[in-house]
Amino acid sequence: MKANEEKGCCRSTESCVDYGSDDEGSNESRSLTIKYLMYSVPLLAAWWLIYLSLSPFSKYLTYNLLHLQSDAHFSSAVEFFVYDTPKVLMLLTLVVFGVGILRSFFTPDRTRKILAGKRESVGNVLAALLGIATPFCTCSAVPLFIGFVTAGVPLGVTFSFLISAPMVNEIALVLLYGLFGWKVAALYLGTGLIIAMIAGWTIGRFHMERHLEEWVYQIQVGEAAYDEPDRTWADRIQYAVDAVRDIVGKVWIYVVLGIAVGAAIHGYVPEGFMASIMGKSAWWAVPVSILIGIPMYSNAAGIIPVVHALIEKGAALGTVLAFMMSVIALSLPEAIILRKVLKPPLIATFFGVVGFGILIVGYLFNLLI
């Protein structure tokens, strides 16, 4: 678990002002769009073919080319690594691209306009959902927070957004899907959204507006008059390609390292080893996992392969999901950043409510599955 700054810091998102978008420009962008679409069909077909052949290839490489014995620890670890690494990276590329297209429709500014003036309950639901679709990074959390609050977005609704945006992210979902299947990914998505909605709503109920730093209310937000440039499809595709380059370029090393660790555990740690520590029978495992998770600050890419290996060796799913949510959603750096606008009681409430939500999810899954 690397304490990396990568997760937070501003991946390139919105476009800069585009000059020369006159008629000539729009013709050009139209032909560019057609060109992109022509490329995408064979690319998708190639993606699919390679993806399907990964499993036979990893077996072939491990047992035929490298002549490893089929029941040894080492070969089992090698096969795991050779299969999982390209699989996860390919899924990641595809999903980051798709999410990039989706996000090109949402900007923080537009999200703020949607949320301003919404009633609380509806607002919480919307904010949690928009948290997935809006490009967001931790270091923008404070300006974004101020932008929301000064635009009249209720405090609880703002928190729903702040909880959902980092926790329910495409990287986490891809990795969960790739390593555990769609059910676990869907569970994570669903419970993550529900925690964001309910925790935000709860914080709203506490009426803690006075625990914001005073200066937040004194700010006269000047409009810097930034007009979103209209985006063409060519722009959106370009935006998504940039997102892929940016995110995959940044996280691939964590994915590879994470899978390598996972592979080692897969091959060497005996089955059921984690059952005693993180299994269902240990009632204290869920809260302890959450507490351990808070000071850890990792992105989903680095932690999920490890989590995968833990589950395989008998750790209970609920405990592990709670651990993961805690690592991703609650972090000390975030608390320090938010301290600039929130007073300690509000930060404590934020962590308390979200932590409690994660706790319930952890126990629930251990109970149900």
Q: How far is the CB of 106 from other proteins (least distance, A)?
A: 12
User: Judged by CB, which is closer to other proteins: 85, or 158?
Assistant: 158
Neighbours of 361 (CB within 10 A): 22
User: Judged by CB, which is closer to other proteins: 13, or 76?
Assistant: 13
- Please give the full DSSP string across 149-217, using - where no structure is assigned: HHTT--HHHHHHHHHHHHHS-HHHHHHHHHHH-HHHHHHHHHHHHHHHHHHHHHHHHTT-GGGB-HHHH
What's the token pair of residue 246?
A: 């940016």
The burial class, CB within 10 Å (0-12 / 13-18 / 19+), for 49 is exposed
Neighbours of 204 (CB within 10 A): 21
Site residues for other proteins per CB under 8 A:
5, 8-17, 19, 107-109, 112, 135-137, 139-140, 142-144, 146-147, 150, 215-216, 219-226, 337, 340-341
User: Judged by CB, which is closer to other proteins: 100, or 262?
Assistant: 100
Q: How far is the CB of 191 from other proteins (least distance, A)?
A: 27
Q: How far is the CB of 281 from other proteins (least distance, A)?
A: 43
User: Judged by CB, which is closer to other proteins: 136, or 177?
Assistant: 136
In the block, residue with structure tokens 């937040």: 216
Q: How far is the CB of 14 from other proteins (least distance, A)?
A: 4
Q: How far is the CB of 203 from other proteins (least distance, A)?
A: 20
Tell me how far apart the alpha carbons of residues 164 and 128 are, in angstroms, rounded to a whole number: 5
Q: How far is the CB of 97 from other proteins (least distance, A)?
A: 18
Chain-centroid distance, C-alpha 172:
5
User: Judged by CB, which is closer to other proteins: 232, or 289?
Assistant: 232
User: Judged by CB, which is closer to other proteins: 170, or 312?
Assistant: 170
Q: What is the CA radius of gyration of the chain?
A: 22
Q: How far is the CB of 347 from other proteins (least distance, A)?
A: 16
In whole angstroms, how far apart are CA 334 and each of 117, 150, 219, 308, 345? Answer: 27, 21, 22, 26, 15
User: Judged by CB, which is closer to other proteins: 22, or 271?
Assistant: 22
